[in-house]
Amino acid sequence: MKEGKNNEIVEKIITYSKEIHLPAIRKYLSEELDTARSKNLSYEEFLCSILEKEYDMRQDNGKLARIRIAGFPCKKYIEDLKIEELPVDGANKLKMLTSLEFIKSGTNVILAGSTGTGNYVKFLFMERNSQNKHKVIIPISEIFP
């Protein structure tokens, strides 16, 4: 009888989590219930654990959404940048730029060089910036030169 009641409760949790948009709870519920039972976790520990999964999933999905909304023309990553090909002064500034301290301090950054020089680096920083919950704005002159 108890097993049937537990299944009924699990089904209700799944239904409620679907209605209030908690996909990680639906995804990890069985796994987390088994872990809670085997480790004899308190209700608070179980709840914290499953909510942490939901939080992590939302953080990951938020990063992906910000990158998608930014509309980058292609995926480029700072890790792929060949530092040895940068001018000396550019390589020296790279650490400051990758930390995104210029955003926190409100400092403007201007990337200058021959045609296309700034585009690669600009999109690298915009991608990194969007992962850190900052909104990315591409000026209209960039889209329609």
Predicted confidence (pLDDT) per residue in 108-142, tens digit: 766 666 665 555 556 556 655 555 555 554 444 44
Query: What is the DSSP track for the chain?
Result: -HHHHHHHHHHHHHHHHHHTT-HHHHHHHHHHHHHHHHHT--HHHHHHHHHHHHHHHHHHHHHHHHHHHHT-SS---GGG--GGGS-HHHHHHHHHHHTTHHHHHT------SSTTHHHHHHHHHHHHHHHTT------HHHH--
Per-residue pLDDT tens for 46-75? Answer: 999 999 999 999 988 988 887 777 776 666
List the single range of 25-29, 97-101, 130-134 with lowest mean pLDDT.
130-134
Which is more confident, 76 or 30? 30
pLDDT level of residue 37 (50, 70, 90 thresholds): very high
Q: pTM of the full predicted structure? A: 0.54
The confidence score (pLDDT) of residue 114 equals: 64
